[in-house]
Amino acid sequence: HLAGAHLLPQNENRSRQLVKSEEASSIIEYSHLVELSFSCDGTHIDYVEEFLCNLNTRLPCLSKLHVEYEHLVTVTENFTRNTTRMNCAKLKHIGFYHKRGIVRSKNFYLYFPLLYHDNCK
């Protein structure tokens, strides 16, 4: 289990760095990480993107995620972004903080194929 609680944004987020420089970066694989939690009290969206984007990180065993719904929508580009799809594909449980305004569209369930309807709270 890994928990992130960074309050400040990065100087420049990782995906933008890769696009600007067009350089390959080292990809970090967390081969045994099954649960990832981002603090409900201020984890900046940059860190959510850095972990979920497969240009930076590989999470082959990730099955549980705790995150702000709005951050997940933004980082996955409304559940359509291919560079975050691979790290989200094996999720079986998503816990959302501040559950207001959650819309589980068709794209939501296509993006998380192993997610059971009752395991998304």
Q: Taking Cα atoms as reference points, which of 89, 94, 92 lies closest to residue 111?
A: 89
Give me the pLDDT at residue 22, please.
41
What integer pLDDT is reported at residue 21 of this predicted model? Answer: 44
Instruction: Note the pLDDT of residue 25.
Output: 64
Query: Quick one: which of 28, 25, 8, 27 has its CA closest to 17?
Result: 25
pLDDT at 8: 55
Beta-strand relationship, 2-4 and 35-38: parallel
What is the domain range of residue 39?
A: 2-119
Q: What is the pLDDT of residues 27-70, one digit of tens each?
A: 999 999 999 999 877 788 998 999 999 998 999 999 999 999 99
Give, in order, the Cα–Cα distances in Å from 87 to each of 8, 29, 52, 98.
24, 11, 6, 23
pTM above 0.75, yes or no: yes
Q: Span 5-29, mean pLDDT?
A: 59
pLDDT value of residue 59: 97
Domain total for the chain? 1
